[in-house]
Amino acid sequence: MNFTFSEDQEIFRDAFKKYLESNVTPEKIRSGWEDNMPFNQARWQELEELGILQSNLDEKYGGLGLDLVTTCLLVEEMGYYALPEPAAEQMFLSNLLINKSIDIAELIEEKSQFIGVTHSLSPNILFLDNSSKQINLVEDSISIVSSKDINGKKLKSSDPSRDLTNFIFENSDSGSLQTLNDQKSLVNNVATSGMVMSAAILVGLSRKILDLATAYTLDRKQFGKPIGSFQAVKHMLAEAAIEIEFSKATLYRAAYSLENDNPLQKLHAAQAKLQAIDACEMASRNSMQAHGAMGYTWEMDLHIFIRRGWSYKQVWGNKSLLENYIMNQLEKDLPKLGSTYTFL
Amino acid sequence: MKIGFSDSQKKFRDEIRGWLEKNVPKTPLNSFDTKEGFEEHRDWEKKLNSGNWSMVTWPEQYGGRGLNLIEWLIFEEEYYRAKAPARVNQNGVFLLGPTLMEYGSDKQKEKFLSAMATGEHIWSQGWSEPGAGSDMAAIRTTAFKKGDKYIINGQKTWSSRAAFADWTFGLFRSDPESERHRGLSFILVPLDAEGVTVRPIPQLDGEPGFAEIYFDDVEVDVSNLLGGEGEGWSIAMATAGFERGLMLRSPARFQETASKLLSLYFKNKDNLSGSIESKVLQSWLRAEAYALNIYQTASKLMAGKKIGPESSLGKVFWSELDHQMHQTALDILGVSSELEEVEADDVAGWIKGYMFSYSGPIYAGTNEIQKNIIAERLLGMPR
């Protein structure tokens, strides 16, 4: 039993954090919003050059073969900085599909280009214009189609960093549609991976949202002192810190179970996502409150991160779906509950 | 990262499981907050010690097994699984014991550690006073040196286990000129000394789980001073760290309660509303999250990292969780939940646990104090 990260994992994470710190600033995110182009092609290129996009792709496809625990750490930081480009999706969804299926690997020639993945847990297409292919997962089949054959309507997200299109496939003459059947376990695997991915993003977002609030309460003075010196404010933010702390280990265990194909990986992923949802809700609500009216403005950066949480709480497993799943699992596993089964 | 138990850890689990299956009393002992039950629990400590299981985390040189934190967590899981008796000497084994090993003289270690391990000395805590609760630095009970004695005068309160215990440890003001956290000393006091009066305080369940201790010119030998005179505050902070931290609140206790709650829920499910279901689910999720966090923390500590104010995060988390779980159980039991002696569905156990769960957010530093610590020392907010 060793529940700690290796030095290499931490070094990789910290190096990536440095990149994000200077290259994914609220100003840059806002300028993408203003131009109606949240997907910055140049930054995508940088992420490719840094080896991030292919980091967890198998070595035979030109990747680094990075494990999903390290990948999870990187994605948590993408959440922290609210990276608009769908690098997390590329890593946890399309790279996973390519790694696990030779058939899919053969159909995707350009593996560093963005490959969108849709599923009933996240049915709208993210960044259609920037993706070369769309992969649609339905129960036990996987369809792969060229993005130019999709003819959906643009949808407006409450998060301007998310460029969404609904999924309408136009059966054009080019006939790019390829369907693989009997893929139930792979479809399930990707759904689980999506839960871990969205949980990691939420944990990163929650940390950032809390950091913004603590900084603000040091700065803002009322009654002649920083509002952060008042207990009512301290306790609100302490409560958020507690929720965040207790979402982390659950998340890393879920990533570990996914990486090691643990038979309970879906349960672990669902646990991680629910804890992350709780953390993000508490952090968002209390940090907004600590900001007072300023938090409710477009000008303050806080909402860039809070909005992202609104979306990621719902896609790839929302509260209701996850709770039902876990409750059913627990009823089945009742004899095997209790502390001696934590790491079964 | 490698999550899972090694073969030797599994073997250790089997060993403790085997011992407990053979030795845990078949019928539950009386509560250790009754005179009769206290002695039954003292005997259980002796029994544990006979198998060398009473102070497993202590180093081998002090008669322990020198278990690392992961092994200790395994021990605790098996202990709760076996429904073994509560530890009447937890003040000694988990709080004073480690403090003695760090700050005690060789003579003190010799005198107190093995008597603690065998249950010969059961310890109570002497921190709070009527005017010093959350504000512990307001302590006024004095211990002035006179020759080779300390003369103690004043009053301690909320002293856990003191009604029947043999000894108490706590902070006393040894420097008459001192204020606040300066001039305090950490002193060990036998409760049968002349001038000590113990007045038990019945708790919510009617049993005297804590007591007031009055000191009227009590003479204590200077050899009972732990650490240097006037260094009491920093030693007490180390003790409080053990208490808030890992040693007293292993996750097994909460996970076992969560499983019990799930069983109760599924048994009665057809008559229950959605809000009960979501609380049951949340209880299980949070008990698991607590366990995973503690395993991660234990791994970090074993890798040589330190934890400080982080332990406050856990204290708030488990104490709120424990209350929510018991509250939910009573909501499921409905009209029978007030019937203290009903054994079906363990109503008796739930109601007792429910009362106790009100104390979690208060003892070992109230949750409000913990949140101040989190805000000031982890988040860097101003005092």
* B375 contact A CB<8A: yes
Across the interface, of B5, B281, B291, the residue whose CB is closest to A323 is B281
The CA distances from residue B36 to A42, B50, B160, B213, B338, in Å, are: 77, 21, 17, 21, 26
Contact across the interface for B291 and A331, Cβ inside 8 Å:
no
B281 with A327: Cβ contact below 8 A: yes
Parent domain of B38:
7-88
Contact B381 A1 (CB under 8 A): no
Q: Rg for chain B (alpha carbons), in Å?
A: 21
Average pLDDT over residues B137-143: 97
Of A69, A210, A239, the CB nearest to B1: A69
Contact B227, B186 (CB under 8 A): yes
Domain assignment present for residue A5? The answer is no
Does residue B248 surpass a pLDDT of 60? no
Tell whether B161 and B214 lie within a shared domain: yes
Residue of A nearest to B296 (CA): A3
Whether B270 and B370 share a structural domain: yes
Nearest CA in chain A to B367: A235
As for how many domains chain A has, the answer is: 1
Among B288, B300, B325, B372, the strongest candidate for a mutation testing the A interface, having the largest count of A CBs within 10 A, is B288
* Interface check B251 vs A, CB under 8 A: yes
Torsion of CA A109, A110, A116, A119, to 10 degrees: 30
Let me know if B303 is exposed, middle or buried by CB neighbors in 10 A (0-12, 13-18, 19+).
exposed
Interface contact B375-A234, CB threshold 8 A: yes
Q: Which residue has the higher pLDDT, A69 or B241?
A: A69
- The string of pLDDT tens digits covering residues A41-83 is 999 999 999 999 999 999 999 999 999 999 999 999 999 999 9
pLDDT at A174: 61
**Are residue B135 and residue B219 in the same domain, yes or no?**
yes
What is the domain extent for residue A293?
Answer: 193-341
Strand duo B210-221 + B149-160: pairing: antiparallel
Restricting to B residues 292-331, those with a Cβ less than 8 Å away from any Cβ of A are: 292-293, 295-296, 298-300, 303, 310, 313, 316-317
Mean pLDDT, range B249-268, rounded to an integer: 95
Are B24 and B59 within one domain? yes
Residues B1, A2: C-beta atoms closer than 8 Å:
yes
Domain assignment of residue B104, yes or no: no
pLDDT > 70? residue B246: no
CB contact under 8 A, B81 and A252: no
Average pLDDT over residues B27-45: 97
| Mean residue pLDDT across chain A | 96
Region label for B31, one of left (φ > 0), alpha (ψ between -120 and 50) or beta (otherwise): beta
Point out the residue among A218, A229, A249 whose CB comes nearest to the CB of B383.
A229
To the nearest whole percent, how much of chain A has pLDDT over 70? 99
A57 close to A63: Cβ distance less than 8 angstroms: yes
Give the CA dihedral A55, A58, A59, A60, nearest 10 degrees: -140
Tell me whether residue B342 is in a domain: yes
Residue B40, chain A, CB below 8 Å: the answer is: no
Task: Identify the CATH number of the domain in which residue A289 sits.
Answer: 1.20.140.10
Q: What is the pLDDT of residue A317?
A: 98
Tell me what pLDDT residue A216 has: 98
> pLDDT value at position A169?
79
Give A244 to chain B, closest Cα distance, Å.
10
Q: Please, where are the H alpha helices in chain A? A: 7-23, 26-34, 41-49, 68-80, 87-89, 95-100, 102-107, 184-219, 231-259, 265-291, 302-314, 319-332
Q: Looking up tokens 């090694």, which residue turns up?
A: B6
Nearest by CB to residue B299, choosing from A1, A242, A337, is A1
> What is the arithmetic mean of pLDDT over B299-328?
93
Asked if A212 and A287 count as a contact pair (C-beta separation under 8 A), the reply is yes
Q: Per the domain annotation, does B58 fall within a domain? A: yes
One domain for residues B215 and B127? yes
Mean pLDDT of all residues in B62-76: 92
Query: Do B288 and A342 count as a contact with CB atoms less than 8 A apart?
Result: yes
Stretch among A22-26, A211-215, B67-71, B75-79 having the lowest mean pLDDT: B67-71
| pLDDT, averaged across chain B | 94
Residue B344 lies in a domain: yes
Number of domains in chain B: 3
Tell me the shortest Cα–Cα distance from A117 to chain B, in angstroms. Answer: 29
At A338, is the pLDDT very low, low, confident or very high (cuts 50, 70, 90)?
confident
Cross-strand bridge partners of residue B169: B125, B188
Same domain? For B276 and B370 the reply is yes
Assess if residue B334 is contained within a domain: yes
Phi, psi at A136, each rounded to 5°: -115, 125
- The whole-number pLDDT of residue B175 equals 96
If pLDDT is split at 50, 70 and 90, which confidence band does B8 have?
A: very high
Region of B334 on the Ramachandran plot (φ > 0 left; ψ -120 to 50 alpha; else beta):
left
Strands (E), A56-172: 114-118, 125-126, 131-138, 141-146, 154-156, 163-165
Specify the CATH number for the domain of residue B158.
2.40.110.10
Size of interface A-B (CB pairs under 8 A): 163
Confidence at B239, pLDDT banded by 50, 70, 90: confident
By percentage, how much of chain A surpasses pLDDT 90?
A: 92
Q: Is residue B107 assigned to a domain?
A: no
Lowest mean pLDDT: which of A84-93, A147-156, A275-284, B325-334?
A147-156
Whether B247 has a pLDDT exceeding 70, the answer reads no
Judge whether B77 and B10 are in contact, CB under 8 Å: no
On whether residue A299 sits in a domain, the answer given is yes
- The verdict on a CB contact (< 8 Å) between A340 and B251 is no
Instruction: Label residue B29 left, alpha or beta by phi (over 0 means left) and psi (-120 to 50 means alpha).
Output: beta
pLDDT in tens, B206-224: 999 999 999 999 999 999 9
Same domain, B321 and B206: no
- Assess whether B269 and B307 both reside in one domain: yes
**ipTM of the prediction:** 0.96
Angstrom distance (rounded) from CA B142 to CA B145: 10
Residues of B labelled as active-site residues: 243
Domain assignment present for B2: no
What is the rounded distance in angstroms from the CA atom of residue A306 to the CA atom of residue A34? 18
Q: How confident is the model over B126-155, as a mean pLDDT? A: 96
Residue of A nearest to B285 (CA): A271
Closest CA to B158 of B186, B207, B125, B122: B125
Cβ pair B256:A338 closer than 8 A: yes
Q: Is B286 on the interface with A (CB under 8 A)?
A: yes
Work out the widest C-alpha separation in chain B, in whole angstroms: 72
Same domain assignment for residues B256 and B227: no
Query: Does a structural domain hold residue B111?
Result: no
> Using one digit for the tens of pLDDT, what is the confidence trace for A258-309?
999 999 999 999 999 999 999 999 999 999 999 999 999 999 999 999 999 9
The chain A residue lying nearest B301, using CA atoms, is A4
Q: For A245, name the nearest residue in chain B, comparing CA atoms only.
A: B313
